[in-house]
Amino acid sequence: MALHALKYCERLFYLEEVEEIRVADGRVYAGRRLHEEVADEDTTNERRSIELESEEWGIFGKADAVRRRDGRWIAYEHKRGRSNQAEDGSPLAWESDRIQAIAYAVLLEEHLREAVPEARVRYHANNKTARVTIDEQARQDLRAAILRAQTLRNGNLRPPVTDDECKCPNCSLAPVCLPEEERLALSSNEASPPPRIFPQHRDRQTIHVTTPKSRIGRSGMSLTVNSEHKAEKIGIEQIDCVLIHGYAQISTQAIQLCSSRDVPIFWLTSGGRFLTATCNAGRVKQRIRQYESLTDLSMRLRLAKRLIHAKIETQLKFILRATRGAAEKRDACQTAIRNIRSALAAVGNVESNESLLGYEGQAAKAYFSALPQILGKRVDNRLKPTGRSRRPPKDAFNAALSYGYSLVQALVLRSVLAVGLEPAFGFYHQPRSAASPLVLDLMELFRTPLWEMPLIGSLNRGAWNLESDFDTAHDHVWLSPEGRKKAIEIFEARIKESYKHPFNGHSMEYARIVELEVRLLEKEWSGITGVFAQMRLR
Ligand code: SF4
């Protein structure tokens, strides 16, 4: 299968076999089903699903079937798609299928110690069988493919995207590889957006468990969530992440199921503070590249400047948008707007992350001073912020703000893990708390659009109730269970909203945009620069 990937596209081979990124989409499941269907009972003249290995060739694999025809054994490979066609109209195996079939034939030959002169590829979509001759040319082609695979495996760089663009829409790794985005970045033709390959929507859901006595367990390939009032069963294929808020319990079996399917689990305190998460072991080559790049001071500064410029510009645009057509509000925000603009103008010229922190702080101070002005007059003054307070939040606004930031943090962390980067290794924030620096870095792009804007919108709509949504003790305010539920609903609704990403010109859910930005960040040290941090308000 690795040789098949290699012949289809070298980048696909590298992503799957070296970086160990595998995406099971509908086509992959359909292919697996086909192989299960053909892996039936063995007969005298046929053996199915046979594992073969050769030290001499340095390969192993599982042939779909080997059959005896006219006293000779033949290796069979089954494919869902259609065959290629020779000039005379006879069915022809595609090159990637041909190499895979040759590999099974030589493995079989060695196993049986007798010549296997032919392999066959059965194409189910057009019901044709292509024959592959196992001659000296076939052996040479196989040798060359194995050598190429070894060379790629020893390298640290991802091969470029394939020149044959037709292959990408059928490739299960397209949402990871982002071929069109990469071609766009390399091309000077900005006239039209590339075709959409990165999906607009998430195809799975996040499970939030907020009720204290809930129990999360496992039943077959599903998670069960039992609370006092209801019981739910959700197939693991439908889940992208589990967030446990507070004291719900989860069984070892459920943790094992989630881990085996790369579904991360996050634990947050009832107050929304991030505690910890499960994460996969990581992909070594990918992380080596990340470490090497993010220890380069010029790279760190370049990325930090792009990030903070995007953050401040988004803050500025939000205030301008919220005060548009409202002269009184705009007047009240004039000083803040001026200060944010001057910080924004300075960011491009800074020469260290420390100076950048200073301008970011200047903009943040001005921005937070403007937020009470853009909350409507009807909003209860006790729901308006009195400055920024974090640990502990000292007013209702800050309590809601901090809780939402934890939800943003969990979303960014799971995107970082999904992409395969090391969350602890960032380029701007210093390691200080349980939060990972790279996650804190990336959150700067999303705090305003994913939480501050919907929070302020919901306050202006009168969606929050001071009595039922908040609990207070001394000078510490936090969200009540109802308040937490409300925050989660607002956040989940927000990340399902679509936004046209400036880079590829396509609308996609905010949750997808977070992952897209993480992937674009990785491209900054994979040969395509200037693509990260284009996310900002229009
Ligand atoms: S999306 Fe295209 S370039 Fe990327 S791995 Fe797949 S076939 Fe290769």
Residue 498: the pLDDT is 85
**What rounded mean pLDDT belongs to the chain?**
85
Mutate to test the pocket of ligand 1, among 171, 186, 197, 526 (most ligand atoms within 8 A of CB): 171
Q: What is the pLDDT of residues 317-347, one digit of tens each?
A: 999 998 888 788 888 889 999 999 999 999 8
Higher pLDDT, 196 or 355: 355
Structure tokens at 270: 């009832």
158 phi and psi, to 5 degrees? -65, 135
Higher pLDDT, 264 or 254: 254
Residue 238 burial (CB count, 10 A): 12
Residue 25: the pLDDT is 58
> Parallel, antiparallel, or unpaired for β 215-219 and 249-250?
parallel
DSSP 263-286: --EEEE-TT--EEEE------HHH
Tell me, in angstroms, the distance from the centre of ligand 1 to residue 520's CA.
16
Residue 419 burial (CB count, 10 A): 18
Q: What is the pLDDT of residues 466-525, one digit of tens each?
A: 889 988 887 788 888 899 999 999 999 998 888 887 776 778 888 888 888 998 998 888
Instruction: Compute CA distances 28 → 97, 173, 236, whole Å.
Output: 16, 11, 17
**The pLDDT of residue 173 is above 80:** yes
Look up the pTM and report it: 0.69
Residue 280: the pLDDT is 65
Nearest CA to ligand 1 atom 3: 161
Contacts of 268 (CB under 8 A, 6+ apart): 243, 244, 245, 246, 274, 275, 406, 410
Tell me, in angstroms, the distance from the centre of ligand 1 to residue 118's CA.
30
Higher pLDDT, 182 or 160: 160
Q: Looking at residues 245-269, what average pLDDT do you find?
A: 87
Q: What is the pLDDT of residues 23-68, one digit of tens each?
A: 655 566 566 565 666 555 556 677 877 888 888 889 999 888 888 8
Residue given tokens 């290629």 in the structure block:
84
Q: What is the pLDDT of residues 207-233, one digit of tens each?
A: 888 787 889 999 988 999 998 778 889
Percent of the chain predicted with pLDDT > 90: 36
Residue 73: the pLDDT is 87
| Rounded CA separation 342/167 (Å) | 48
Residue 188: the pLDDT is 54
Complete domains list, the chain, with CATH? 2-177 (3.90.320.10), 208-277 (3.100.10.20), 285-524 (1.20.120.920)
Q: Looking at residues 146-156, what average pLDDT do you find?
A: 89
| Rounded CA separation 217/425 (Å) | 33
Residue 30: the pLDDT is 60
Could you give the 3-state DSSP secondary structure of residue 449?
A: helix
Structure tokens at 174: 């397209």
Full 3-state SS string of 483-496: HHHHHHHHHHHHHH
- The CB of 174 under 6 Å from ligand 1? The reply is yes
Kindly state the helix (H) or strand (E) to which residue 108 belongs, with its residue range: helix 95-112
Q: Looking at residues 270-274, what average pLDDT do you find?
A: 69
Tell me, in angstroms, the distance from the centre of ligand 1 to residue 22's CA.
13
Burial class (CB within 10 angstroms; exposed 0-12, middle 13-18, buried 19+) of 57: middle
- The CB of 168 under 6 Å from ligand 1? The reply is yes
Mutate to test the pocket of ligand 1, among 19, 23, 167, 170 (most ligand atoms within 8 A of CB): 167
Residue 368 burial (CB count, 10 A): 18
Residue 427: the pLDDT is 92
| Rounded CA separation 336/371 (Å) | 10
Tell me, in angstroms, the distance from the centre of ligand 1 to residue 162's CA.
6
In the chain, the amino acid numbered 511 is: A
Contacts of 388 (CB under 8 A, 6+ apart): 364, 368, 398, 401
Q: What is the pLDDT of residues 405-453, one digit of tens each?
A: 999 998 998 888 878 788 889 999 887 666 789 999 999 999 999 999 9
